């Protein structure tokens, strides 16, 4: 305990082994106007109180690469308690990584304290994954802790200077993804880094350095040790990155798609399944790039649909009734998925709603289509139907009928309804029963 306390006290003021490259605005080209106002104010407040305060990581990387960041993280030498004292609207969160959320208007900024390098005292599991990590350190140590060189960049919005300890700016310019430290040990510390390597390289158009790429296939099994909730969050980032098609291609190439979504590798080996999934991913990429709303429920429904179809077909072949068989198939597929990804209850509900409405598109007679179009999830289910038609799973004529049907007024919709053959059959059976009853007394006489 004493050694640990001394380590914490003296580390704060330890001199750097080497100074970072200080890159001026003329070289990095970041437009300060693109930096969120809240992020600038947090850095200014920290620096005004005598602390360091810089925008760090992905936001700096994206700004240099000409991509608009989705969020801005702040790194500082102030402890969480000191940060909390500076901002009235803030709170300390987290156990494994203690950070502070600072609210600036509608923005929520994540402020983290510089962290120390790992050593023999760092709490890890049997596979080497870090379990607890709240030892504060220097800015240099914090940079060394980050995964890739392009993420170890610190931007001071006051002086418009970028601090670069590991040649991350050069790697961005040279389109190379390099790891900080020895890749195998970094993957053991956090296996999710393998997914991040694929996602970020696809997003930024970078080539994986051979040392980064080589261990991935042999260490892919470490993904089994990642908590489902964390894996789900990382998968959402990948699928809604705007480059999901390229990400999935790279996942397959690196052997990381096995097990992330049960049997996804099997689906992608089937022409119909692969076409359907790739169409869904391409549609999501286009919506992300156009800044249109996207739905995790819709996308996961597309990724898992062919598993549901296969399970449903097996149950119907075993003489199960169609509707109960569909419910059972959906539950089984989602239960399998829960072992890998912690899909939230709300998203699972959206997925089921989309799946359950698909068989109802086949009914185009009676009042069923009129009731169908009033369903809250009709639009999502209809978009799902369009993908099914485009991939060749259902006739295009069915999708075209529903496209026209929803654009008609009430009278036009009534005119489009097909004859209800089921009612005729019931009527004829009813008349046949009455005829038999009438004939019964005569037979008795």
> Distance (Å, rounded) from C-alpha 304 to C-alpha 357?
15
How far, in Å, are 59, 135, 173, 212 from residue 165 at the CA level? 17, 20, 16, 19
Question: Is 383 part of the annotated catalytic residue set?
Answer: no
Asked if residue 154 belongs to a domain, the reply is yes
The pLDDT tens digits for 148-190 are 999 999 999 999 999 999 999 999 999 999 999 999 999 998 8
Q: Left, alpha or beta for 255 (phi > 0: left; psi -120 to 50: alpha)?
A: left
Ramachandran region of residue 365, left (φ > 0), alpha (ψ -120 to 50) or beta?
beta
CATH number of the domain that residue 121 is part of: 3.30.460.10
Mean pLDDT for the stretch of residues 39-44? 96
Report the domain count for the chain. Answer: 1
Q: Within 13 A of 148's CA, how many CA atoms are on the CB side?
A: 32
Q: Could you tell me where the DSSP H helices lie in 70-166?
A: 80-86, 139-145
C-alpha angle 88-90-96 in degrees, rounded to nearest 5? 150
Which position among 62, 73, 77, 171 bears the catalytic label?
73
The answer to the question of residue 156 being in a domain is: yes
User: Is residue 84 one of the residues assigned to a domain?
Assistant: yes
- Which position among 133, 147, 164, 285 bears the catalytic label? 147
Q: Where does the pLDDT of residue 248 fall: very low under 50, low under 70, confident under 90, or very high at 90 and above?
A: confident
- Does the residue 72 lie in any domain? yes
Residue 242 is encoded by which pair of tokens? 């705007």
Let me know if residue 30 belongs to a domain. Answer: yes
Q: What is the pLDDT of residues 64-116, one digit of tens each?
A: 998 889 889 999 999 999 999 999 999 999 876 789 999 998 899 999 999 88
What is the tens place of the pLDDT at every residue in 416-434?
998 876 655 555 455 555 5
Whether the per-residue pLDDT at 6 is higher than 60: the answer is: no
pLDDT score recorded for residue 50: 97
Q: Domain for residue 48, yes or no?
A: yes
DSSP state letters, 291-319: T----HHHHHHHHHHHHHHHHHHHHHHTT
Quote the tokens at residue 51.
Answer: 């602390």
Domain of 97, in residue numbers: 1-174
If you search the block for the tokens 């106002």, which residue do you land on? Answer: 37
Residue 119 bears catalytic tag: no
Q: Is residue 64 a part of any domain in this protein?
A: yes
Q: End-to-end CA distance of the chain, in Å?
A: 106
| DSSP bridge partners of 73 | 56, 110
Is 149 inside a domain boundary? Answer: yes
Tell me if residue 101 falls in helix, strand or coil.
strand
* pLDDT at residue 285 in the model: 94
Confidence at residue 141, expressed as pLDDT on a 0 to 100 scale? 92
What residue has token string 């089937």?
270
pTM: 0.75
Instruction: Catalytic residue, from 71, 233, 265, 383: name it.
Output: 71
In sequence order, the 6+-apart residues with CB closer than 8 A to the CB of 360 are: 368, 372
Q: How far is CA 359 from the centre of its chain?
A: 28
- Phi first, then psi, for residue 324 (nearest 5°) are -60, -35
Q: Which helix (H) or strand (E) element contains residue 39?
A: helix 37-48
């Amino acid at each position: 305990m004493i050694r640990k306390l001394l380590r914490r006290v003296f580390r704060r003021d330890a001199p750097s082994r080497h100074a970072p490259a200080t890159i001026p605005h003329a070289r990095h080209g970041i437009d300060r106007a693109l930096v969120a106002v809240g992020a600038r104010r947090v850095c200014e407040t920290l620096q005004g109180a005598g602390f360091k305060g810089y925008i760090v990581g992905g936001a700096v990387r994206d700004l240099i690469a000409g991509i608009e960041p989705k969020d801005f993280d702040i790194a500082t030498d102030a402890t969480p308690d000191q940060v909390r004292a500076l901002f009235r609207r803030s709170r300390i969160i987290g156990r494994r990584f203690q950070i502070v959320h600072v609210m600036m208007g509608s923005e929520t900024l994540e402020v983290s304290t510089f962290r120390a390098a790992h050593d023999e005292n760092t709490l890890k599991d049997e596979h080497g994954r870090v379990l607890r990590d709240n030892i504060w350190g220097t800015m240099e140590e914090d940079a060394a802790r980050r995964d890739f060189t392009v993420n170890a960049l610190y931007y001071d919005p006051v002086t418009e200077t970028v601090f670069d300890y590991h040649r991350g700016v050069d790697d961005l310019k040279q389109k190379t993804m390099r790891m900080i430290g020895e890749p195998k040990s970094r993957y053991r510390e956090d296996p999710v880094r393998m997914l991040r390597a694929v996602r970020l390289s696809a997003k930024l158009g970078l080539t994986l350095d051979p040392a980064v790429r080589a261990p991935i296939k042999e260490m892919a099994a470490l993904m089994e040790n990642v908590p489902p909730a964390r894996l789900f969050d990382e998968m959402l980032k990948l699928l809604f990155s705007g480059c999901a098609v390229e990400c999935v291609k790279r996942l397959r190439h690196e052997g990381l798609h096995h097990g992330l979504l049960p049997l996804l590798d099997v689906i992608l080996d089937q022409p119909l399944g692969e076409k359907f999934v790739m169409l869904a991913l391409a549609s999501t990429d286009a919506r992300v790039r156009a800044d249109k709303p996207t739905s995790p429920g819709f996308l996961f429904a597309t990724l898992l649909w062919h598993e549901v179809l296969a399970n449903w077909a097996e149950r119907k072949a075993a003489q199960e009734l169609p509707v109960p068989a569909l419910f059972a198939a959906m539950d089984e597929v989602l239960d399998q998925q829960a072992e890998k990804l912690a899909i939230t209850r709300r998203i699972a509900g959206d997925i089921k709603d989309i799946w359950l409405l698909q068989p109802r598109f086949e009914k185009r007679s009676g009042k069923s289509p009129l009731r169908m179009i009033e369903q809250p999830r009709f639009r999502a289910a209809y978009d799902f139907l369009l993908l099914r038609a485009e991939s060749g799973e259902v006739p295009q004529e069915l999708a075209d009928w529903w496209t026209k049907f929803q654009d008609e007024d009430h009278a036009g919709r009534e005119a489009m309804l097909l004859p209800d053959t089921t009612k005729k059959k019931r009527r004829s059976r009813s008349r046949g029963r009455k005829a038999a009853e009438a004939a019964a007394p005569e037979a008795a006489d």
